[in-house]
Structure 1
Amino acid sequence: MKIKRYLWIAILTITALLDIILPGNTQQNTSSKTLFQTSTFTALSIGLYEGNTNFKQLKKYGNFGLGTVNYLDGEMIGLDGKFYQIKADGVASVIPDSMTSPFATVTFFKPQILINLEGQINYQQLQQLLDQRLPTKNYPYAIRIHGDFPYLKFRSIPKQTPPYRLLTEVVKEQSSIFELRNVNGTLVGFRTPKYMQGVNVNGYHFHFITENRKTGGHILDGQFQNAKVELDTLSNVEINLPKTAEFDQADLGDGKPAEANRVKR
């Protein structure tokens, strides 16, 4: 009887271990307070627009985030466990699990800090006021802003084809610009410290989607009325680098990320 009992305990222990280590299991692959990203912003900025991480995999690392999809085909935003692609025509649609991303940043969003910014402010003032309220600037933050916005200006960019151009050139010459007034919806974003430049977008980076999930894009400017801001401090960073020949052969140390970062913001 004791032998059977110990055998049963051993089987349960092995099963638990397999649940942890086997690839493709459906449980959460990372804890909260972790910023998980696929590839780096440096790689995206020099034209590495094809990745091999799909959204089924990304969902194991976060229910909240932003980035893009393969071939730089529009903007990506993740909110409440659903991920949306916003193409150059401004139309948002749910991303299938099989679609892949060359660059994405996600986390399991659990805000600890609520900041109420009274009155009307512009996008630059929003960033300045948030900087004044942060407990420290040495950690990344996930940020959600929900509400009614008097004015928002945002963009998306079209699908690219080889040979791929630099991100700075694509953003400058091919961006589709949209403006909405008195719109309600949600901003999803991150603030990363300066020392992460090249790994991610330095400073603030926001994508927007309307309440009805019909349109949105990368935020360029806006007006915010009585903004309610939720922040989640992230104390861990995990990066999944692409396993592609293009990434293997890329020159990632030529200074282009700094230029791309200025354009992206």
Structure 2
Amino acid sequence: MMKKLVLSCMSLLMFCSPVWAGRDTLVQVSTIDALLGGLYDGTLSIEELRRDGDFGIGTFDRLNGEMMLVDGVVYRIRSDGGVDVVSGTETTPFAAVTFFDAELQRQIPANTDFKGFQQWLDDLLPNPNLFYAIRIEGRFRFMKTRSVPAQTKPYPALAEVARHQPEFEFKDVEGVIVGYRSPAFVKGIGVPGYHLHFLTSDHRAGGHILAFTVQQASVRTDQTNEILLRLPDSSAFSGADLGKDRSVELKQVEQH
């Protein structure tokens, strides 16, 4: 059972009946601190998740791979580097999805690396305190990604899992990047800053992005003013220590 919490610029509301998102809503399942703390059991089906968006990222039950939702299709980038199309009966413990409607489009300067891209796009996006869905398509001189294997109970913390995660490197590769730039105030709930996943154009490889260098690519963004949280109504979630500051753990997980 899931609880729904809607955060918008005007209100903070709790809903006890089903709430389905509009096209301009970012829908997130659980919180990043819950995932960092080892809450990997899936709580929402992929079928239900796809009602909330056609675009997004996340993971799967037991932390079984990296999720990409692109053009309404859900892909799993496995820990062995391969890719599966995921059925609606599987579940997710953490994901963020929306309906992507591009508002801004730009060509990314050639040879821009991941850090340079963030600085470049920050200068283009008008509001640092709103959410932006990001879609990049093109060719990359270099791409470095990682994925995570399915875990068994008792689950280790995500920072421990990340120390042993498989990493993948690609050269002269085409593909699509999907993800978000989130404002600083979401710490503990979401991932502040940039959180991006990659899928090759042949849908055979990808992962959570650690580094890249652009050869020729364009970016499209979709500004989102509202976030809806689907929080687990479970004993694991109710017993989790979500008051702990996990910002150092998040930095370790996102950058390594």
Normalising to structure 1: TM-score of the pair? 0.87
Offset of 1:51 from its aligned partner?
2.5
Do structure 1's residue 223 and structure 2's residue 213 form an aligned pair? yes
Structure 1: unaligned runs, 5 residues or longer: 1-21
Structure 2: unaligned runs, 5 residues or longer: 1-16
Do structure 1's residue 113 and structure 2's residue 104 form an aligned pair? yes
**Structure with the higher helix share, 1 or 2:** 1
Equivalent residue, structure 2, for 1:259 = 248
Alignment match of 2:231 (pick from 241, 252, 256): 241
One-letter amino acid of the structure 2 residue matched with residue 229 of structure 1:
V
Larger radius of gyration: 1
Q: Tell me the distance in 2 between the aligned counterparts of 1:93 and 1:249.
A: 33
Equivalent residue, structure 2, for 1:47 = 38
Offset of 1:254 from its aligned partner?
1.1
In the TM superposition, what whole-angstrom CA distance separates every residue of 1:202-223 from its partner, at most 9, and x where no partner exists? 1000000011111110000010
Equivalent residue, structure 2, for 1:136 = 127
Q: Is the CA contact 2:140–2:216 (under 8 Å) kept in the aligned structure 1?
A: no
One-letter amino acid of the structure 2 residue matched with residue 125 of structure 1:
G
Q: Is the CA contact 1:191–1:204 (under 8 Å) kept in the aligned structure 2?
A: yes
Q: Tell me the distance in 1 between the aligned counterparts of 2:55 and 2:21.
A: 13
One-letter amino acid of the structure 1 residue matched with residue 159 of structure 2:
T
**Aligned counterparts, 1:204-215, within 5 A:** 204-215=194-205
Do structure 1's residue 83 and structure 2's residue 74 form an aligned pair? yes
Q: How many residues align?
A: 239
Alignment match of 1:171 (pick from 142, 147, 162): 162
Equivalent residue, structure 2, for 1:162 = 153
- Identity of aligned pairs, percent? 39
Superposition CA RMSD, Å: 1.5
Range that drifts further, 116-125 or 139-148: 116-125
Q: Is the CA contact 1:190–1:204 (under 8 Å) kept in the aligned structure 2?
A: yes
One-letter amino acid of the structure 2 residue matched with residue 48 of structure 1:
L
Q: Tell me the distance in 2 between the aligned counterparts of 1:115 and 1:29.
A: 31
Q: Is the CA contact 2:196–2:209 (under 8 Å) kept in the aligned structure 1?
A: yes
Do structure 1's residue 71 and structure 2's residue 74 form an aligned pair? no
Offset of 1:71 from its aligned partner?
0.3
One-letter amino acid of the structure 2 residue matched with residue 65 of structure 1:
G
Offset of 1:78 from its aligned partner?
0.5
Equivalent residue, structure 1, for 2:181 = 191
